[in-house]
Structure 1
């Protein structure tokens, strides 16, 4: 049976709160990314890992990240949490139950892709998911996990 990564700890009571998420290793991957990698090295590691997207095509994540031009143009990340494919419910549970996992992933992706502004789109019909993600973003900002000089690094993201 494959190891659970994205949904690991999803049933822990209170895991939607920053303090509980961090007790279970939350944002350790972000700290490792910021401290141990340059953006290009992180992209290479993701390519080597074989990580794939959760959409129907399962597109290789590192390949997608590698398509970005190597220039200093402003970059934006849009996390599409619309979940509009017929019969799908793979993202909603993450947003509702462990939203910091999504937020941490957005921050790491933004760092790897040299993004300075990120957006998370949540479809209006997913009201609880939207509220949970919004609370997670607010908690992350308050803790210095989003904003200027994240975790004391040179990297900043809004």
Structure 2
């Protein structure tokens, strides 16, 4: 029988936390290492295959395999965009606000990886209008990531451009 001591959170890295994880704290925990690895030593197809192999699933009600979703994007020329729904509109789910308020750099890294995997340079994150603090915190984190060279033009010193 499992007891509380055996519990390992799977939705959040910092359950119960209310203050945002800073860029420095996130990086000290290994944050943005997958982003750096993807940009410096992987192709977009390799990123998709690694995500498929990981078993990562969406956090919505269907739990759809993330790598499969990314793999559906046509490899045709032309602009591609990533749209992230942080509206928290799936019945019975309450995770989007927590993610964009506290785990904001985890969200940003995931969005950036998706952009790279599908060859998109621009992503949009929709946040419910009532979540003003979440939007403000996410915008501040995006600005921090841009200032650190993780986002924007020439991410991590490469030819990859990602704007969120």
TM-score by length of 1: 0.90
Q: Give 1:140's match in structure 2, choosing from 145, 153, 157.
A: 145
Larger Rg computed on CA atoms:
2
Displacement of 1:13: 8.4
Matched, 1:59 2:64: yes
Paired residues of 1:18 and 1:100 also in contact (CA < 8 A): yes
CA deviation digits over 1:32-51, x for unaligned, max 9? 11122100111111122221
TM-score by length of 2: 0.87
Partner SS, residue 68 of structure 1: coil
| Cα distance in structure 2, aligned partners of 1:4 and 1:69 | 34
Instruction: Give the corresponding residue for 1:102.
Output: 107
Unpaired segments of 5 or more residues in structure 2? Answer: 1-5
Count of aligned residue pairs for this structure pair: 158
Displacement of 1:6: 5.2
Unpaired segments of 5 or more residues in structure 1? Answer: none
| C-alpha RMSD of the superposition | 2.0
Q: Give 2:131's match in structure 1, choosing from 126, 129, 135.
A: 126
Q: How does 1:1-158 map to 2 (within 5 A)?
A: 4=9, 7-9=12-14, 15-158=20-163
Partner SS, residue 82 of structure 2: strand
| Cα distance in structure 2, aligned partners of 1:100 and 1:53 | 17
| Cα distance in structure 2, aligned partners of 1:33 and 1:11 | 31
Query: Structure 1 runs of 4+ off > 6 angstroms?
Result: none
